[in-house]
Chains A and B, each alone.
Chain A
Amino acid sequence: MSTPADASSGSPPGLRVCVDLNLCQAYAQCCYAAPRHFRIEGHEALFYDPAPAAQDRADIERARVACPVQAIRVEDPGQAS
């Protein structure tokens, strides 16, 4: 799990991630797409990193689009949307 501690050290602005855990049904597609940022504990408890580093954006995008219930919301200040 990356920490957002380097936000002040001149690295590009990180991402913001929020998963709607009402929608989440633990399909775990995000865990395969971005294994360093999402994991399932027990049967269906999703744990995710809400502040991934900018260089992990490709994996976070894979996770976002792969979610079968489209529960993952991402803000990427470094990427014009």
Chain B
Amino acid sequence: MPDATLLDQVKDFANRADPYPVYAKLRQHPVSRQDDGTEAGTWVASTHGTIASLLQDPRVSSETLPPADRPRTGNPLTDLIVKPLKDWMMDRHRVFIFRDPPDHDVLRASVMHQFSRERIQAMRVRSERLVADLLDEKRDAREIDAVDDLAYPLPVTVICELFGVPREDEPKFHGWATQLATALEPDSLSDTEIRAANSRTFDAIGGYMADLIKDKRRHPQDDMLSGLANESTPTGAKMGDYDLIATSILMLVAGHETTVNLITNGLLTLLRHPDELERLRRDPGRAPRLIEELLRYEPPVQFRTRKTLSAIDIAGVTIPEGADLVLLLASGNRDAAVFPDPDRFDPDRAGIRHLGFGGSLHYCVGAPLARFEAEAALTALAGRLKAPRLIEDPPPYRSGAALRGPEHLRVAIDGIA
């Protein structure tokens, strides 16, 4: 077993509350090889320039998932015939964050076609209403958990309404989403137990989505799933059923597991910077800038993984062909070469070219929703919470290193206006 590398320290739960000092050490070498016991090693890009460059490099692939290998059941018929078929189908219909063009582009274009400006604008208005209602429910409380009371239910309701998932089915997604989100944590890909659990979960959620899609075909509604199931893009593209199921699962899981961190990290950061909280309270027009700075300072997705298709010379090193890459987005966001005084939270800094939503072909599809939801939530929290105080700092964190955020965020208040 090699010594604990800096990448191991990033993954180490002990560093979850504050991984930034580890990132700073990594940045001493813009691209570094981290010993993982394999010959190629895992290569970490930690500076803004190298991450931005690799994100847009055609020699870098997003097809990082190992071949599907569903757990055996012991039933020979299933294991010899059904399993290989299902594995083959899984591999052919990966969600598009794990695919390269041209397939990626076709799938993504279908989603973007349904992700219309009108639909997102409607969700902007809806987010404001939902936030108001959620806070009204806690009107007389003297303590809230920002996660359970607002940051989780808001994006979950929004994504379910957007996709047309019936409200009463929504609780089923909580466990499914948490399980499937582990696919973004690098170590889970080599952990057979996690992979088996993911297969089971994918079957469960896939079965549910298949039924829902049938329903959307029989009774189309004004929602994204109905649109994806029944309409083509202007260039005539239309998803097959397996891609449609995989894509809906991706969107629903992303809706459950990411924006929650943006909102929670946002409130946490504001409570640690009371002057900014007060400024936002007085001037909600500061919210868009503040949210971009948050996406730089505490991004909900800390890193993404890739693979090299060819050797790449970068920043004085050569990443070999077939190497695993970790693009440490949250570290690039703290690169002093791009952001002076990078560890300072400063919404007034000019031109925040953060990597919080990734970049290039795989730039976060849900970014506009995340921004509107965060704006609705943070302006309402700043405006309505009376004398908010953090009860625990740091708060307890969820396990993920890639999808990083507090498990709970308890805040003492003197009521809600």
CB–CB under 8 A between A and B in the complex?
Answer: yes
> B-contacting residues of A (Cβ < 8 Å)?
25, 27-29, 31-33, 35, 39, 58, 61-62, 65-66, 68-70
In whole Å, how far is A47's beta carbon from the nearest beta carbon of chain B? 13
Q: B285, A61: Cβ atoms under 8 Å?
A: yes
7 pairs, CB–CB < 8 Å, chain A vs chain B: A27-B367, A31-B117, A32-B121, A33-B371, A35-B117, A61-B288, A65-B288
The distance from the CB of A10 to the nearest CB of chain B, in whole angstroms, is 24
B359 close to A (CB within 8 Å): yes
On whether the beta carbons of B288 and A62 are closer than 8 Å, the reply is: yes
Q: Are B351 and A66 closer than 8 Å at their CB atoms?
A: no
Task: Give the CA-CA distance A68 to B357 in the complex, in Å.
Answer: 9
B residues in contact with A65, CB < 8 Å: 288-289, 292, 352
Q: How far is the CA of A69 from the CA of B367 in the complex (A)?
A: 14
Contact A32 B120, beta carbon cutoff 8 Å? yes
Q: Is B88 an interface residue (CB 8 A)?
A: no
Contacts of A29 in B (CB 8 A): 367-368, 371
Count: A-B pairs, CB below 8 Å:
43
Complex: A22 Cα to B288 Cα, angstroms: 24
* Bound complex: CA A31 to CA B368 (Å): 9
Q: Give the distance in Å from the alpha carbon of A66 to the alpha carbon of B368 in the complex.
A: 9
Residue of A nearest to B354 (CB): A68
Which residues in B have some Cβ–Cβ distance to A below 8 Å? 112, 117-118, 120-121, 285, 288-289, 292, 351-353, 357, 359-360, 363, 367-368, 371
In whole angstroms, what is the CA distance A60 to B288 when docked? 11
How far, in Å, is B99 (CB) from chain A's closest CB? Answer: 18
Tell me the dominant secondary structure on chain B's binding face.
helix
Whether A69 lies near B353 (C-beta < 8 A) is yes
CA distance A32 to B353 in the complex (A): 18
Assembly CA distance A73 to B289 (angstroms) = 15
For the A-B complex with A25-B360, A68-B353 known, give 5 more contacts whose Cβ atoms are closer than 8 Å.
Answer: A32-B120, A62-B288, A65-B289, A66-B371, A70-B351
Chain A residue with the shortest CB-CB distance to B105: A43
Q: Which residues of B contact A35 (CB under 8 A)?
A: 117-118, 121
Alpha-carbon gap, A66 to B353, bound state (A): 9
Shortest CB-to-CB span from A32 to chain B, Å, is 4
B112's nearest neighbour on chain A, judged by CB, is A28
Q: CB-nearest residue of chain B relative to A57?
A: B285
Identity of the chain A residue whose Cβ is nearest the Cβ of B56 in the assembled complex: A25
Q: Are B353 and A70 in contact (CB under 8 A)?
A: yes
- CA A32 to CA B359, docked complex, whole Å: 17
Q: In the complex, A65→B22 CA distance in Å?
A: 29
Minimum CB distance partner of B361 in chain A: A25
**What chain A residues lie within 8 Å of B292 (beta carbons)?**
65-66
Q: How far apart are the CA atoms of A68 and B329 in the complex, in Å?
A: 14
